[in-house]
Amino acid sequence: MATYRTLVDVYIGGQHILAGTTLTLADNFVPSAAYDPLDTPALNAFYAQGPQSTPLARTQWSTQFVAPAVTKPRPQKAAKLSVLPPIPSVKPRSLKVGF
């Protein structure tokens, strides 16, 4: 079982769950960026999803304070760019024109 904290209000199985609630869900649950993983199984599932955009949280309409996420996505390593081999230098030749 994986433990998550909701960062925004969510619906799971038709139930409305308020932001800031701690949930224990099955290990095969696919978390979105609306969940902050709190233990190892949750963290593994979170990172398996890859980078995601954070959900929109309109705090001016919420009466409940929710701390920001503790877990941040890992930065992806930049792919190595293929570099073309250098162009060999060619010495200009002088043209001899003969009549």
Q: Percentage of the chain with pLDDT > 70?
A: 63
CA 77 – CA 84 distance, rounded (Å)? 21
CA 3 – CA 31 distance, rounded (Å)? 11
Q: What is the pLDDT of residues 33-72, one digit of tens each?
A: 889 899 999 988 888 887 777 776 665 556 667 777 777 6
For the chain, which residues make up each domain, given as ranges?
Answer: 2-52
Q: How much is the pLDDT for 78?
A: 56
pLDDT band at 73 (very low <50, low <70, confident <90, very high): low
Q: Which amino acid is at 44?
A: N
